Structure 1
Amino acid sequence: MTNINQSFNRILVIKLQHHGDMLLTTPVICSLKSAYPNATIDVLLYKETLPMLEHNPFINNIFYLDRNWKHQGKFTRLKKEWELGRILKKQQYDLVVNLADQWKAAIFALVTKAQVRLGFEFEKRKNSQFWQKCHNIIVSTADHGQLHTVEQNLSILAPLNIPIISDVMMAYSEADKQWLTETIEKYHLPKNYIVIQPTSRWFFKCWDEDKMATLITKLQQNHYSVVLTSGPEAKELEMIQTILAHCPNKDVITVLAGQTSLSQLAVLIDNAGLFIGVDSVAMHMAAALKTPLVALFGPSKLEHWHPWQAVGETIWAGNYDDIPHPDHIKTDTQQRYLSAIPVDVVYNTAIRHLS
């Protein structure tokens, strides 16, 4: 592998994926900032994921691709992407770290004309000369099957010979702290409140609503205060309502589902006594913030996506029933693979981390 022993002044990190994926790129950003403390570090991402990184103190500028551009017509989309390419070229980057596998990301890396452009040797790009032209250093992905996503991302830095910082960072603002103060006062939340986020953008990753309601009721009976959160999508809010319908004491549950920004959710989780949730961006945030957590997991690839450096426990559905391999899952299935996880197991695990 090529080894680079030089300093960099202007760095661009590219990742075009979902919210959780963006959070798991922060160890790369932290490692680069530690190695090159005077460097300007920018990020290129999808617009909707910007909140995951907008308060990160190590990032100078965030540029984005807006997936809604495609709805404005092909000419408009191409024009906006061309303008973005011009802006990136003007930044005069000397290092580009492309974590993405899309052709679009590779082309933006090439457009920068950075002296060093790192890219992964993704299986689907292995025999492409153009992919190799876009990146002048290609990093192997041969061992990625055995690595967590954080470790996969960090492996792209190997040619730089820099120390690795593997902590994931979720940052929020002073305004978010003020929001939390006001929210705690409004809902009279105690210090050891529990944040429960039962939803995911993929329903096959979710537990049953009645089981979640039973868990909430048992926690309430033990005098714990529960805060329910979710994303703003209609199907997630509908799931929250179904859970509440099964809760005999729903009137004393604080429901903030669909009402928080991602950074507000972060400060809420950061100050909680416990987080309980499924495989979602909120789970990764809780792990990053070192809030004690109970993660209900399956059937995602546990080795790739388990909560990184979490304080708490992950309950794997595969320990209670046979579940299919993640590669064989249809994402639109209505099957609840977490159903096998017993309520008492989750409850007892939660109590253990609350005491």
Structure 2
Amino acid sequence: MATPAIENIVNLHPNVDITIFGSAISTRVFEYHPNVQRIVIDGSRKQKFRVFHLYKQARQLGRFDCAISFRRTLASKLFVWFCEATLKGNYRRYTKRAIHQVIRYNDFVNKVFKVKVSASQLTIYKNQKPVNTHKSDKKLLGINPGASYGSAKRWYPEEFAKVAGELSGQYDIVIFGGPGETDIASDIEKSLIENGITNYQNLAGKTSITALIENISNLDLFITGDSGPMHVAAAFQVPTVAIFGPTKDDETSQWMNDKSVIVKKNLKCQPCMKRTCPLQHHDCMKLITAVEVLDAVKRLN
């Protein structure tokens, strides 16, 4: 969701050389960005004396005209402070009212560079050599049941399987997920097998972030919870049904994807923003049915 703000920096300074510093997962989004000269993985996270290692990494990067962080943690503030840079900026929220996170990031960049430009679409640059090509008469449906935020954001595997089963006549199915989401993906796979459905792939825990981006970009339809892959789909304008429970869809839904439908329940306890259901009933997800998601798919067609 920070990519529109970064693209606005590039538009202001077309010849800028960018160094991306962060986690091994998030930095992969910029692997093929034409202005990104270096990607440096934050190696301080598991270090006993993290502040010292942050300082060491910041100094090893060299000098910059500008150093900014899109995070609000103490570690990110220290890192920017340690950097040798003429202009520095740490992300902050400038309003308490509910606005999309893309706008928050863009407002931050506007403040740092003293400009007033609007945020455009999410932008991810792909490898020019395709990782996979889909050879089938059917369209391609992606199922993303996981969510790293916590179990409260996850819809149920049996419901995902019902949706995939109903659509398997029109679509070949790809199940996505990270290394920690292989169990829920396996549950979906088992349900498909029990129902005699064979035109699927289970890629959970088997792909790199780069391959995940490539695979999502080639989809004809994506059904997902509120997650990172949901935003990847938005960057490529993939028709998407996004299932929301405890989180704020007005702040973290797909940005500028006209082919997007949100399914949610609007309960009094929503949005609680908790990683697990504090009321222990999980109704914000439990009450969403496969029929509702299939109806949302029809609205996209």
TM class by smaller structure: 0.7 to 0.9
User: Aligned partners of 1:46 and 1:332: how far apart in 2?
Assistant: 28
| Range moving further from structure 2, 154-163 or 257-266 | 154-163
Shift in Å, 1:198: 1.5
User: Aligned partners of 1:78 and 1:156: how far apart in 2?
Assistant: 25
User: Aligned partners of 2:79 and 2:108: how far apart in 1?
Assistant: 18
Q: In the alignment, what sits opposite 2:8?
A: 31
Q: In the alignment, what sits opposite 2:97?
A: 145
Shift in Å, 1:278: 0.8
Matched, 1:158 2:110: yes
Matched, 1:325 2:277: no
Matches within 5 A, 1:1-355: 24-66=1-43, 68-70=45-47, 73-74=48-49, 77=50, 80-88=53-61, 90-91=62-63, 93-120=64-91, 122=92, 141-159=93-111, 160-161=114-115, 163-175=117-129, 177=130, 179-181=131-133, 184=134, 188-190=135-137, 192-201=139-148, 202-220=150-168, 222-233=169-180, 236-247=181-192, 248-319=195-266, 321-327=267-273, 329-331=274-276, 336=282, 337-353=284-300, 355=301
User: Aligned partners of 2:213 and 2:248: how far apart in 1?
Assistant: 24
Name structure 1 gaps, 5 residues minimum: 1-23, 123-140
Alpha carbons of structure 1 residues 156 and 47: separation in structure 2 relative to 1, 3 Å:
same
CA contact (8 A) 1:94 1:115 kept: yes
The residue type equivalent to 1:331 in the other structure is T
Secondary structure of 2:18's partner?
A: strand
Structure 1 length as normaliser, TM-score? Answer: 0.75
Secondary structure of 1:326's partner?
A: coil
CA contact (8 A) 2:139 2:220 kept: yes
CA contact (8 A) 2:138 2:171 kept: no
Shift in Å, 1:335: 5.1
Percentage identity across aligned positions? 22
Structure 2 length as normaliser, TM-score? Answer: 0.87
Q: In the alignment, what sits opposite 1:9?
A: none
Q: Which has the larger Rg?
A: 1
CA contact (8 A) 1:205 1:338 kept: yes
Shift in Å, 1:332: 7.4
What value does the CA root-mean-square deviation take over the aligned residues? Answer: 2.4
Question: 1:200-259 CA deviation, whole Å, 9 max, x = no partner?
Answer: 122211112221111111112x432211111122xx111112122223024332222222
Question: 1:6-32 CA deviation, whole Å, 9 max, x = no partner?
Answer: xxxxxxxxxxxxxxxxxx111121000
Alpha carbons of structure 1 residues 61 and 191: separation in structure 2 relative to 1, 3 Å:
farther
Secondary structure of 2:122's partner?
A: coil
Question: 1:19-50 CA deviation, whole Å, 9 max, x = no partner?
Answer: xxxxx111121000101112222222123422
| Range moving further from structure 2, 337-346 or 289-298 | 337-346
CA contact (8 A) 2:110 2:117 kept: no
The residue type equivalent to 1:228 in the other structure is I
Q: How many residues align?
A: 294
Alpha carbons of structure 1 residues 227 and 48: separation in structure 2 relative to 1, 3 Å:
closer
The residue type equivalent to 1:290 in the other structure is Q
